[in-house]
Structure 1
Amino acid sequence: MKFKVCGMKFQENIEAVASLQPDYMGFIFYEKSPRNFEGDIPALPITIKKTGVFVDASVDFIIKKVKQYNFRAIQLHGNESSKFCQELKDALTTIKRFNQIEIWKVFSIKDEFDFDRLSPYEEIVDYFLFDTKGKEKGGNGYTFDWSVLKNYPSTTPFVLSGGIGSDQIDSILSFMKTPVFKYLYAVDLNSKFESKPGLKNTKELKEFLSDLSGH
């Protein structure tokens, strides 16, 4: 199981979180978000995959940011259609050094979910990400009902997101015992480890990662 820390914003904090060696680090490009990223990303270890997070952005805008920051994964957090995902994938493929970039498509869940919505995206995106349905496009600070995923019909690996913090460790360990766990690729961490939007508490993150690293 891999880990992504999302919503990074401040240079020194980015470097501090990078020292914890998460597998992915996410940077949000959405002006309405308090975690909207501007500026430069410091040099990160090659083992950390920089991830650009976008909400209904254009293909051109995403490509521009991929080139600027050398992202290795793209997270689509809006209402992007399967056609859009294919267009983006095709555009990345034409740029030789970007043809290995992962595409993650986000779907929001509260108490139920129509898994038929995933079908058009199969074979296009690399991972699905399931987040909590709430007022904001991510960073709402609370979890959805993970038992909804027991009916997961796909073999596409998924990322678990939405209000995950230290108080969810027991829930994650329980989830690891369920049949659907074999499709869990990563856990996405954001608002529950913040002292303010974009500023992560590295001590709490370190303890969380340490608690789960042995499982």
Structure 2
Amino acid sequence: MTLVKICGLSTPESVAAAIEGGADFLGFVFYPRSPRNVTPEQATELTKPVPAAVRTVALTVDADDALLETIVATMRPGLLQLHGHETPERVADIRSRFGTPVMKVLSVASAEDVAKASAYEPVAGMLMFDAKPPKEMKDALPGGNALRFDWQLLAGAHFGKPWLLAGGLTPDNVAEAIRTSGAPGVDVSSGVEDAPGRKSIPLIRAFLKAAKAA
């Protein structure tokens, strides 16, 4: 069955809906520019009811050691999601320094972007492929832009680590995305929102139902 990550959670209601719908991963964003940004203290409260079978994920963007240390010490996430320009060396250092599994996100617009995954496979526990914002899109966030890339770029691909597909996914297209890309897991944020940063409980439920049935 497809693994599903609901990202950018910021309210107890959205966390509860994700858990009840069968999400495998719950993502919390630590990036001030994002409308989904939370503090380590807020995330700690939000994750208190999360069962052990569901992994909590802390999303950071080129975070320094001080922020990562605070997040790990306060929230104790099951996974650190690195959504910036972190090099393989930086990923290895973070994994070693903080003793927490790491998921590296790769921004994709071409086959060359997908190929970069090979450098991260030895150091990351998981991979994610998200849409690369176009250069003309000013002030774009690293993710959560409701953009999709060509899912065919991943069709038939094999990676040494588990991976998730992200970028522009919605309850209406996630089944097609899984079929086209062959993704073993998917990630959604803006696709289950009524407005930037405001999660929709019905959309969370619909996305989980569609993804799990695909």
For the superposition of Structure 1 and Structure 2, which TM-score range results when normalised by the shorter chain? 0.7 to 0.9
Aligned-pair CA distance for 1:153 = 5.5
Which deviations, in whole Å up to 9, do the C-alpha atoms of 1:25-80 show, x marking residues without a partner? 00010111111112232421222211000000013321220120110011000000
One-letter amino acid of the counterpart of residue 189, structure 1? V
One-letter amino acid of the counterpart of residue 148, structure 2? T
5 Å matches for 1:1-215?
1-38=2-39, 39=42, 40-43=45-48, 44-93=50-99, 101-134=100-133, 135-150=140-155, 152=157, 154-175=159-180, 181=182, 184-215=183-214
One-letter amino acid of the counterpart of residue 20, structure 2? S
Distance 1:118 1:23, change over 3 A: same
Aligned-pair CA distance for 1:90 = 1.1
Equivalent-residue separation in structure 2 for 1:152 and 1:42 (angstroms):
34
Aligned length, in residue pairs: 202
Q: Secondary structure at the match of 2:81?
A: strand
Equivalent-residue separation in structure 1 for 2:178 and 2:80 (angstroms):
28
Distance 1:173 1:25, change over 3 A: closer
> Which runs of no fewer than 5 residues in structure 1 stay unpaired?
94-100
One-letter amino acid of the counterpart of residue 34, structure 1? P
Q: Secondary structure at the match of 2:66?
A: helix
Which deviations, in whole Å up to 9, do the C-alpha atoms of 1:104-134 show, x marking residues without a partner? 1011112443444223322110111100111
RMSD: 2.0
Aligned-pair CA distance for 1:9 = 1.3
Q: TM-score, normalised by structure 1?
A: 0.85
Equivalent-residue separation in structure 1 for 2:121 and 2:211 (angstroms):
30
> Which runs of no fewer than 5 residues in structure 2 stay unpaired?
134-139
Q: Secondary structure at the match of 1:166?
A: coil
